[in-house]
Structure 1
């Protein structure tokens, strides 16, 4: 038997080494892409289902949201107090929960995300090291699981079932005078951005789409994280590291943002719907270079109406 040995010249060896390094880098990049794709597709989050706030007077609050914003009450439940779901669209609601005592300074109760398959999603969360609750049937008839998320906000993950109240009221209670048909984002306080990113960005694959400071050259104040593989809903971190926000500040920081197709038309509708002191609610251009109008409900919780196209 004769063995044949091939001797590589220095130039050939360098070329071979470069090819091997290139192949390794390509494989690593492909593995990262696969991991990111899996994170985006594994959970199947459809978007924001509802945001729940405390109110001190349910009847008056529902009246404000229905008369001034045009969102009709679709159904009511008993869920740690009397709760009414006012309807933005067949998929999205604002949940108003009456409290016996004075509302907390925080007022934000929960942020609910709709998922396509809750059992798969809960398994996915556990695989990432989180501890969601057991699946249960919520008061509104959805399958639900809760998790205390970053900055101690209660997160609710729901799957709309055929006999859920959301499904039973589909196509109904869509107010003719509603000012929006889309809940675009929910904003909430974040006291540790790294911890928030570990959950929303690294575990769930949310994608950063914008960040800004309150003042030019100041520290970051807002970070927007879009839900991947969804209709485009996103969450907005309101960074408060080192701050102790007042009640009024928390009412503005913990907020919802509704899509306005034309902010001037939205303002005219607000006036026609009887919003008191309309001169207080002038359109303005926010730090995102988008036209916005800010309205506060009877308990001081802010609703932001925003165009998505740049103002300038």
Structure 2
């Protein structure tokens, strides 16, 4: 009798544990930014970066590939201090992930609807989880003018790393990828990969509370992956990119070649090669690099 009760207890415990497992989070689905001028924003994302667009109510969507996209929303009034409104991550089971987060006392701010729901992280950033489906409501095909076909990371200002780590690392399972700083003795950037993929979220640390919109736009950013920066620069030239930034590539502190553009509202769109061309400062990479065609 005691053995039967023990077996029953183990089965029940196993079932409970299984029900609390976190569903897979496989990559970035989208980044949503605000725009104060729709025409100027369309010129940047549609012409300079070469993406096609579709409308979803007030939001303009620019597909990057068949499962990732950029969203541009009208700037509200009064204007918020950042132009980054939301970051979306893909999950293999949105319903189960919503249940998992609720079980861990995370408030669902937008309930599950059409395969997506949203929460706010400990610092108030809007995080959307999207059911992973190829071509999920992305819209038109990506044209040949597009300078990239992969979103590889997004970053935003983080004030309390330990608090954010409890959410992204402990609860959601994000994994260290790389960290570094403006010099070898400080940590200004912490890259945390999604648990079941190679896309990452970048903590932007040590940002002044009096930062200007341009300084916040440097931190609250998105990154488009490219295999060879020379090809991206050639694409920008074909798309009639204007200004010195259009060809100003450089090697970042992580050893990866990058190029920084800014949309009309000063949100940074960083173009970055998938793999480092040189040795990174500060720390080694601790996980695989993204690729041009990510398998999920």
Band the TM-score falls in, shorter-chain normalisation:
0.7 to 0.9
Residue 193 of structure 2, aligned match among 209, 220, 226: 226
1:239 maps to 2:208: no
1:105 maps to 2:81: yes
Deviation per residue, 1:235-255 (Å, 9 max, x gap): 000013664322110011000
Moved more, 39-48 or 115-124: 39-48
Deviation per residue, 1:61-118 (Å, 9 max, x gap): 1222111111110x2122xxx2100110111111001125474330111111122221
Deviation per residue, 1:3-29 (Å, 9 max, x gap): xxxxxxxxxxxxxxxxxxxxxxxxxxx
Moved more, 299-308 or 113-122: 113-122
1:291 maps to 2:257: yes
Distance in 2 (CA, whole Å) between partners of 1:203 and 1:39 is 15
1:52 maps to 2:32: yes
Equivalent residue for 2:117?
145
Instruction: Give the Å deviation of 1:303.
Output: 0.3
Deviation per residue, 1:114-141 (Å, 9 max, x gap): 222211001111232322236343xxxx
Distance in 2 (CA, whole Å) between partners of 1:249 and 1:52 is 18
Distance in 2 (CA, whole Å) between partners of 1:105 and 1:228 is 30
Residue 203 of structure 1, aligned match among 171, 175, 196: 171
Distance in 2 (CA, whole Å) between partners of 1:296 and 1:176 is 22
1:114 maps to 2:90: yes
1:1-312 alignment to 2 at 5 Å?
42-73=22-53, 75-78=54-57, 82-99=58-75, 101=77, 103-133=79-109, 135-137=111-113, 142-159=114-131, 165-166=137-138, 169=139, 172-217=140-185, 219-230=186-197, 232-240=198-206, 243-278=209-244, 281-312=247-278
Instruction: Give the Å deviation of 1:209.
Output: 1.0
Instruction: Give the Å deviation of 1:213.
Output: 1.1
More helix by share: 1
Distance in 2 (CA, whole Å) between partners of 1:208 and 1:281 is 31
* Number of residue-to-residue matches in the alignment: 263
Instruction: Give the Å deviation of 1:160.
Output: 5.6
CA RMSD of aligned residues (A): 2.6
CA contact (8 A) 2:109 2:120 kept: no
CA contact (8 A) 2:217 2:268 kept: yes
Distance in 1 (CA, whole Å) between partners of 2:110 and 2:232 is 42
CA contact (8 A) 2:66 2:136 kept: no
SS at match of 2:108: coil
Normalising by structure 1, report the TM-score.
0.77
Query: Which stretches in structure 1 are left out of the alignment for 5+ residues?
Result: 1-37
Equivalent residue for 2:10?
none
Instruction: Give the Å deviation of 1:216.
Output: 2.7
Query: Which stretches in structure 2 are left out of the alignment for 5+ residues?
Result: 1-17, 279-296
Equivalent residue for 1:14?
none
Distance change >3 Å, CA 212–CA 160, structure 1 → 2: closer
Distance in 2 (CA, whole Å) between partners of 1:76 and 1:290 is 34
Q: Which runs of 4 or more aligned residues in structure 1 lie more than 6 Å from their structure 2 counterparts after TM superposition?
A: 38-41
Moved more, 201-210 or 150-159: 150-159
* Higher-Rg member (1/2): 1
